[in-house]
Amino acid sequence: MNKMHGYTEVGTNSVKGVEVDIESGETLYPGLSKGENQLRWGFIRKVYGILAAQMVLTTLISFVTVLYAPINDLLKGSPGILLFFAILPLILLWPLHVYQQKHPLNFVFLGLFTLCLSVTVGVAVGNTDGAIVLEALVLTSAVVASLTAYTFWASKKGKDFSFLGPVLFTGLIVLLVTGFMQMFFPLGSTTNAVYGAIGAVIFSGYIVYDTDNLIKRFTYDEYIWASITLYLDILNLFLTILRMLRQSNN
């Protein structure tokens, strides 16, 4: 029995006079009107379409970096160039935020942002055994698919994950500070394993948190920003798992 705004009906919600069957398997979360539900699904499909394009571009750039030896050797032998590609995405976040609703500038900056990160991923993959890369890719895909499916299911059941924001942000800061300290005080193998495991948990949590935001909180004009957050979550999770597997192999 569900009661909302003076309207009572078994298995349904009513928002502004519109009835929505929350047990039909189509409504994103309880209390969402039918028209709003359709708009939100359209927004979600758009974000995942952009995200898929980003992942394809990252895969292609990584393959080129790995298979074309001169590029890989150039990047490995030129720390300045690699540092440039690592820092540029941080700089591009500002115009991405400012012009996220300005077409086609938003897609131009998004393409540059994805390209720079793809180069750094390509270098990381190029310096790792192929079997480990494949294993990391499979594990990341499984985790992302599972967490995404769970978040959509939990949202449909009325669960909310907004409380994760402060917890994950605090964990991310601790992770960054610890990573910075490693440059001066190298950690042991056990501590490195714990550090990697905590990183994987944090980025897995961010996938749930940002997917929940995608379902409920991102506005329809924030499709670029939504795709960036999910792209970074997946990329960081992949790199963390790759680092853990590489260390365990060594």
Q: Is residue 122 exposed (0-12), middle (13-18) or buried (19+ Cβ within 10 Å)?
A: buried
Q: Are strands 12-15 and 7-9 parallel, antiparallel or unpaired?
A: unpaired
Contact (CB, 8 A) for 5 and 30:
no
pLDDT value for 33: 84
List of E strands, the chain = 2-4, 7-9, 12-15, 18-21
pLDDT value for 241: 92
Structure tokens, 41: 């699904």
Contact (CB, 8 A) for 219 and 47:
no
Contact (CB, 8 A) for 50 and 41:
no
The CB-side HSE value for 170 (13 A sphere, CA atoms) comes to: 5
Q: What is the CA radius of gyration of the chain?
A: 21
pLDDT value for 230: 96
pLDDT value for 13: 39
pLDDT value for 103: 84
28 Ramachandran zone, left/alpha/beta (phi>0; psi -120 to 50): alpha
pLDDT value for 229: 94
Q: What is the Cα 71 distance to its own chain's centre?
A: 27
Structure tokens, 182: 């490693």
Mean pLDDT by 10 residues, the chain (250 residues): 37 38 61 86 94 93 78 72 82 87 88 90 81 90 95 92 93 87 74 84 95 92 93 94 82
d(CA 190, CA 43): 43
pLDDT value for 250: 65
